[in-house]
Amino acid sequence: MNFLAHIYLSFDDKEITLGNFFADHIRGNRYKHFPDKIQKGILLHREIDTFTDAHPITRQSSKRLHKNYSHYSMVIVDIFYDHFLAKNWSDYSNVPLEEYVDRFYDLLEENYELLPVATKRMMPYMIADNWLLDYANLSGIGRVLNGMNRRTQNKSKMNFAIFDLEEHYTDFENEFTAFFEELITFSRQKFNSLCED
């Protein structure tokens, strides 16, 4: 899953949210110096990724893209799924997305010193262009895919994936909805067991 899903699946715990958000910028066991709850957020992120990558529904979504995007397919699915979470946000939260996102940006700014270097580098762009709110629109997803393609020196051709999303929009949305219900249940169980330790 991409940024918005990881933030949402932290269940409003601020420290878990931080770890869950920036976990991709932490390699191996280099998380041990963080406060306990942030460590748990990093571990939760990894559990979510493992569950997502192995799930038959996400594999089905990925298979639809594999011919054109090969090993980038699952990255694209993560981005598509964040789009559907943002677009259907009111189904999952009573807090309007704009307010939710603003609170998250405040959390990052309040904890700036704790953030990994890569997160600190990314953060100004994320906030200035309001990535998380932008996910709700196809134009925003198009910009994300363009940016990802640039990062691969145009090897991935991910910028073209917006056309796949438009062509198979209902299929991807139905897959997201079915999968995300299972992911919420899984993540809540992992969250509870991590917080009990």
pLDDT at res. 14: 97
Write out the two tokens for 153.
Answer: 């020196």
Q: Please tell me the distance from the alpha carbon of residue 24 to that of residue 42, in angstroms, as a whole number.
A: 8
Per residue of the chain (197 residues), give pLDDT as tens. Answer: 689 999 999 999 999 999 999 999 998 888 888 999 999 999 999 999 999 999 999 999 999 999 999 999 999 999 999 999 999 999 999 999 999 999 999 999 999 999 999 999 999 999 999 999 999 999 999 999 999 999 899 999 999 999 999 999 999 999 999 999 999 999 999 999 998 87
Q: What is the pLDDT of residue 86?
A: 97
What per-residue confidence (pLDDT) applies to 28?
82
Q: Determine the pLDDT at residue 2.
A: 87
Can you state the angle between helices 138-151 and 73-87, rounded to 10 degrees?
Answer: 150
CB 57 within 8 A of CB 175: yes
Residue 120: the pLDDT is 95
0.75 cut: is pTM over it? Answer: yes
Structural domain range at position 171: 3-195
What lies within 8 Å, CB to CB, of 108 at 6+ separation is: 18, 21, 115, 119, 123, 127
The alpha helices in 30-155, defined as continuous H runs, are 36-54, 56-69, 73-87, 97-110, 117-128, 131-134, 138-151
**CA 146 vs CA 16, 66, 174: distances in Å:** 30, 18, 25
**Contact (CB, 8 A) for 44 and 190:** yes
Q: Which tokens in the block code for residue 84?
A: 């559907």
Identify the pLDDT of residue 126. Answer: 92
Query: What letter does residue 28 receive in the DSSP assignment?
Result: T
Q: Give residue 31's pLDDT.
A: 80
- Give me the pLDDT at residue 169, please: 98
Question: What pLDDT score does 49 carry?
Answer: 96
* Domain count for the chain: 1
